[in-house]
Structure 1
């Protein structure tokens, strides 16, 4: 299912931004929470996290997918693996491996995008949104602080994002995206590992790992 990762073909370089947040609406409680979340992730040089994506389409059809993301933030490198795709970047070149069709597409790293994907899930909220605190919620026994964000760009494909934060660790628990077509996308972040050792070859395409794959160079 090629649409299973929301905006995955528009991988954002926002994930490596070390700028301070530039929020556009001053809800003091929400700003304080988002500042703390930013500080948490900006302290990481490398990151490994599992994630799941649950999609509920406007016609009530559902789909779920899970994967793992590895990031070297200072170098702008990332490696995302899911059941259908692997996306690898050394900061300059991107290799998108389409496992179901046996093809790898080589492109230059796409420019920054407003699309929300696993690569910028930890930093997308830094700018371009109005935000407000909402009532706290729980996931099982875990208390979660809630911030609702509205994009300032009227042409954004979504009208609201709900960000839930583990207030003890100041880490993102999940992000729900409400798009204008009536679809809902829920990213849940699991088992975050801060500053793991990641070898350089983690972020480069290794053809031996994908025998028989067709290479399509789109640069």
Structure 2
């Protein structure tokens, strides 16, 4: 019996040490990724979005994100929607509906939004390093993140990182209803000059649109 107990304890200690090793490696990798993005004052990135719903249906979209990291400003342009924020106000421009919703900008670090999309993983998560994967011939490190706050509406996030340059390749969010949202960064350019006017709403560009102020 003592031998069996000793074996079980040794096995549990081995599992714990391997888990700790995976966590430390994941943390070291994420530190490299955040350092890379923190070196950029602005980021321009083209992305695609793939949504897989629990009922088996799917939806895709694509667009471009312009981010002024230093000032929490962003401009996201997709086929059907434009989001603009000057860090104080957000304009949600719905092209098909010809409507603009105005609301206060949310710069909370407790939720994933355009201002922290490249660095959201730095706090609020437990994480482990998973097996390396490949996509389009690119070798990718994989980190699985689970939110510390169980009240979040997602259960897990899978982050894949390009081993060659420590840039995020894609992010998959697993929500608790069974849906999956995968954001793939097709191109990224840091420190590109972006005019400040790009982060403000110009009403003259949207003649005929209804303006709904929700503030």
Same fold flag (TM > 0.5): yes
Task: Describe how 1:43-122 pairs up with structure 2 within 5 A.
Answer: 43-112=39-108, 114-122=110-118
Find the residue that maps to 1:28 and give its secondary structure.
helix
Task: Describe how 1:199-214 pairs up with structure 2 within 5 A.
Answer: 199-214=195-210
Range with greater deviation from structure 2 (203-212 or 110-119): 110-119
Find the residue that maps to 2:40 and give its secondary structure.
coil
Gaps of at least 5 residues in structure 1 are 1-24
Aligned partner of 1:145 in structure 2 is 141
For the pair 1:194 / 2:190, whether they are aligned, the reply is yes
Is this contact kept in 1: 2:87–2:107, CA < 8 A? no
Q: C-alpha separation between the residues in 2 aligned to 1:36 and 1:216?
A: 42
Aligned partner of 2:180 in structure 1 is 184
Task: Describe how 1:162-177 pairs up with structure 2 within 5 A.
Answer: 162-177=158-173
Q: Over aligned residue pairs, what C-alpha RMSD do you find? A: 1.4
CA drift at 1:78: 0.5
Find the residue that maps to 1:74 and give its secondary structure.
helix
Cα shift readout 1:65-106 (whole Å, capped 9, x = no counterpart): 001000111111110011111111111111111112111111
Q: Please report the TM-score for the alignment, with normalisation by the length of structure 2.
A: 0.87
Could you say which structure has the higher helix fraction?
2
Cα shift readout 1:90-147 (whole Å, capped 9, x = no counterpart): 1111111111211111112124164434443211111110000000000121100000
Q: C-alpha separation between the residues in 1 aligned to 2:176 and 2:158?
A: 14
Q: C-alpha separation between the residues in 2 aligned to 1:35 and 1:52?
A: 25
Is this contact kept in 1: 2:172–2:183, CA < 8 A? yes
Q: C-alpha separation between the residues in 2 aligned to 1:117 and 1:55?
A: 17
Find the residue that maps to 1:31 and give its secondary structure.
helix
Q: Please report the TM-score for the alignment, with normalisation by the length of structure 1.
A: 0.85
Aligned partner of 2:29 in structure 1 is 33
Q: C-alpha separation between the residues in 2 aligned to 1:165 and 1:186?
A: 14
Q: How many residues align?
A: 195
Gaps of at least 5 residues in structure 2 are 1-19
Higher RCO (CA-CA < 8 Å; seq separation 6+): 1
Structure (1 or 2) with the larger CA radius of gyration: 2
Find the residue that maps to 2:28 and give its secondary structure.
helix
